[in-house]
């Protein structure tokens, strides 16, 4: 569904040039539920904006489904955003129109595309557990209910890809679990590819795959050791206190020319800075502090 290779994004002003993505590689399968994690400034939000058609890449390759986002025209970009991708913002003010009811909010994107389907709009609100609140205006809904309305809105155009920017950042734990269960159902039952950007490692147990971005590059991937875990939403409480390493197998990402990014904490532990000693030992590659620097 998503393929990025050597993806570069450079922001330029008169005085400064900032490289937000510097050759990022990423592939995501259709129907996958995954999270992208990284510190502030790592490039994760830039990636989300490019995938959402909100920002243009500077170089490299980035495809979503049939669309080449590097070569797409402005007219095609409108079609892409209308028919292929849905977006959920952390800030509900960007998702919702406060003077409309929940149902009317879900219907707005349909009307803009000329495909109003009130029956489907009602089904979406039922699907996110708000069938009894569809005629309430936003000030009558809690923050968690508003976020679930936003999820229904994001599905109103029947997207193949859903992008969520810190979707659980402003809700309590119970609502967060409810939202993540909705995402899992979207992935497993509707075949929607769901990509979540977050800094919240507690979400790790609720997705199948976690990709860490560091300095504009994909550096590490974490694949769930038991992919059936949480498939019914019943395991979350048991694993809530476990860390990313306990739930997932960690992989260092190797690009097509053989470069890999070793996590900084590993290098720091060995006091490795600008170079390292490396040798092949049977079926293992051993990386260590250069001999002349040891001791």
Q: Residue 292 has what pLDDT?
A: 59
What's the CATH number where 173 sits? 3.40.50.300
Instruction: Mark whether 286 and 243 lie in a shared domain.
Output: no
99 is a domain residue: no
Q: Residue 233 has what pLDDT?
A: 43
Residue 287: is it exposed, middle or buried by C-beta count within 10 angstroms (0-12/13-18/19+)? middle
Instruction: Mark whether 66 and 166 lie in a shared domain.
Output: yes
133 is a domain residue: no
Instruction: Mark whether 267 and 238 lie in a shared domain.
Output: no
266 is a domain residue: yes
Q: Residue 240 has what pLDDT?
A: 40
Instruction: Mark whether 168 and 254 lie in a shared domain.
Output: yes
Which residue's entry shows tokens 């005629």? 135
Q: Which two tokens stand for residue 287?
A: 């990386």
Instruction: Mark whether 208 and 270 lie in a shared domain.
Output: no
Query: Which of 11, 38, 6, 44 lies closest to 24, judged by CA?
Result: 6
Instruction: Mark whether 51 and 182 lie in a shared domain.
Output: yes
Q: Residue 96 has what pLDDT?
A: 85
280 is a domain residue: yes
Q: Residue 238 has what pLDDT?
A: 40
Q: Residue 115 has what pLDDT?
A: 83
167 is a domain residue: yes
Q: Which domain holds residue 291?
A: 262-295
Span between the terminal Cα atoms of the chain, in Å? 49
Region of residue 255 (phi > 0: left; psi between -120 and 50: alpha; otherwise: beta): beta
Instruction: Mark whether 229 and 251 lie in a shared domain.
Output: yes
18 is a domain residue: yes
Instruction: Mark whether 165 and 289 lie in a shared domain.
Output: no
Distance CA 56, CA 85 (A): 15
Angle at 34 between CA 30 and CA 37, to 5 degrees: 145
Instruction: Mark whether 251 and 284 lie in a shared domain.
Output: no
Distance CA 216, CA 245 (A): 22
Instruction: Mark whether 171 and 273 lie in a shared domain.
Output: no
Residue 256: is it exposed, middle or buried by C-beta count within 10 angstroms (0-12/13-18/19+)? exposed
Q: Residue 53 has what pLDDT?
A: 92
98 is a domain residue: no
* 3-state DSSP assignment of residue 224: strand
Structural domains of the chain, count: 2
**pLDDT-flagged residues of the chain (< 70):** 92-93, 204, 224-250, 253, 255-256, 292-295
Which residue's entry shows tokens 């400064």? 16
Instruction: Mark whether 275 and 246 lie in a shared domain.
Output: no
Q: Residue 194 has what pLDDT?
A: 95
Q: Residue 125 has what pLDDT?
A: 94
* 3-state DSSP assignment of residue 251: strand
222 is a domain residue: yes
Instruction: Mark whether 236 and 272 lie in a shared domain.
Output: no
């Amino acid at each position: 569904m998503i393929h990025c290779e050597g993806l570069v994004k450079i922001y330029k002003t008169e005085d400064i040039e900032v490289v937000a993505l510097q050759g990022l590689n990423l592939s995501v399968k259709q129907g996958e539920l995954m999270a992208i994690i990284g510190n502030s400034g790592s490039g994760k939000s830039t990636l989300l904006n490019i995938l959402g058609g909100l920002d243009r890449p500077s170089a490299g390759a980035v495809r979503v489904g049939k669309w080449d986002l590097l070569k797409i025209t402005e007219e095609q970009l409108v079609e892409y955003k209308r028919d292929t991708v849905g977006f959920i913002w952390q800030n509900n003010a960007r998702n919702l129109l406060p003077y409309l009811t929940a149902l009317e909010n879900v219907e707005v994107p349909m009307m803009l595309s000329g495909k109003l389907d009130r029956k489907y709009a009602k089904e979406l609100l039922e699907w996110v557990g708000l069938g009894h609140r569809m005629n309430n205006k936003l000030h009558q809904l809690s923050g968690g209910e508003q976020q679930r309305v936003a999820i229904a809105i994001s599905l109103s155009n029947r997207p193949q890809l859903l992008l969520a920017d810190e979707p659980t950042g402003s809700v309590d734990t119970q609502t967060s679990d409810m939202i993540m269960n909705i995402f899992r159902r979207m992935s497993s039952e509707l075949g929607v590819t769901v990509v979540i950007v977050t800094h919240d490692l507690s979400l790790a147990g609720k997705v199948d795959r976690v990709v860490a971005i560091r300095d504009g590059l994909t550096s590490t991937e974490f694949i769930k050791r038991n992919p059936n875990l949480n498939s019914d939403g019943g395991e979350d409480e048991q694993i809530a206190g476990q860390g990313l390493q306990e739930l997932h197998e960690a992989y260092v990402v190797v690009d097509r020319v053989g470069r890999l990014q070793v996590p900084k904490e590993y290098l720091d532990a060995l006091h490795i800075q600008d170079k390292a000693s490396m040798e092949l030992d049977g079926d293992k590659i051993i990386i260590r502090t250069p001999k002349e620097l040891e001791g």
